[in-house]
A and B are shown apart, each in its own frame.
Chain A
Amino acid sequence: MAVAEMSDRADAGDETTVYQPAEDSRLLAEAAVERVGDDERVLEVGTGSGYVAGRVAAETDAAVVASDLNPHACRAVRETARSEGVALPVARGNLTHPFRAGAFDRVLFNPPYLPYDPDAARDDWMERALTGGETGREVIEAFLDDVGRVLAPEGRVLLLVSTLTDIEAVAAYAADRRLAATTAREESFPFERLAALSITPEH
């Protein structure tokens, strides 16, 4: 997760409040573009700069919606999509909570996954974009608690996880919620291995 990386897509003023695309964003975007069908309805939660949702909207014919908790992220995504002529509706919300049951064929999430470090605590939007509580898994677990509700029949999740978060622990938590996880794509970096997990409800 390279925090300081600059994006050519977002306003420079957002770089301190909105997470900018990095290796994890690219891995998730590539896994999504490869899998999403043109007739699918797709939701990305925690969209940040909108990089992943924007690529899926631009490179497939799927209907994509982006959502984030962070108002700065929502405004930046809306502006970027408008200026680039990409159809990408944006709603401010917490994870999948404001979306209807069975509404999506695919839900994408590149979650905050770094374990909380009290020495680096800053209580700002960037910290919210990066840290997932003491274990690094708190936001992922809250996501897995509700995501099954918004999936259409045969719907799937693509969730980005890191070895820093303990990928097996994420898969075990999903299994407890009757969600089966398999690795769709992975890549190793100097300090972590990233994986895009494809998650489906067990019927």
Chain B
Amino acid sequence: MKEDLLDIVCCPLDKSELELEAIRRDEGEILEGRLVCTECSEEYPIEDGIPNLLPPDMREESAA
């Protein structure tokens, strides 16, 4: 993800702004890191350039 995505995303739980903690960047993109809610402190991982903005109870890889 690019940093400007922060302008349009929010915490799915309380809709507050998210703060970026980048771990690995490449060509202007954040490949690994996390987005942290400025209100409830919930952390949303960024893996392979894709932020996972699902609430913690929906994060499983499986469909069921």
Contacts and interface: CB of A to CB of B under 8 A. Distances in A.
Interface string A66-104: 000111001100100000000001111110011111011
**Interface of B: prevailing SS:** loop
Given A91-B53, A92-B51, A93-B53, A125 B63 contact: yes
**Interface of A: prevailing SS:** mixed
- Contact residues on B (Cβ < 8 Å of other chain), bracket: 20 to 34
A99 B11 CA distance: 8
A99 B12 CA distance: 7
A123 B2 CA distance: 33
A15 interface: no
A106 interface: no
B20 interface: no
A103 B8 contact: yes
7 contacts: A78-B48, A92-B50, A93-B53, A93-B54, A99-B8, A100-B7, A127-B63
Interface of B: 1-2, 5, 7-12, 15, 48-55, 58, 61, 63-64
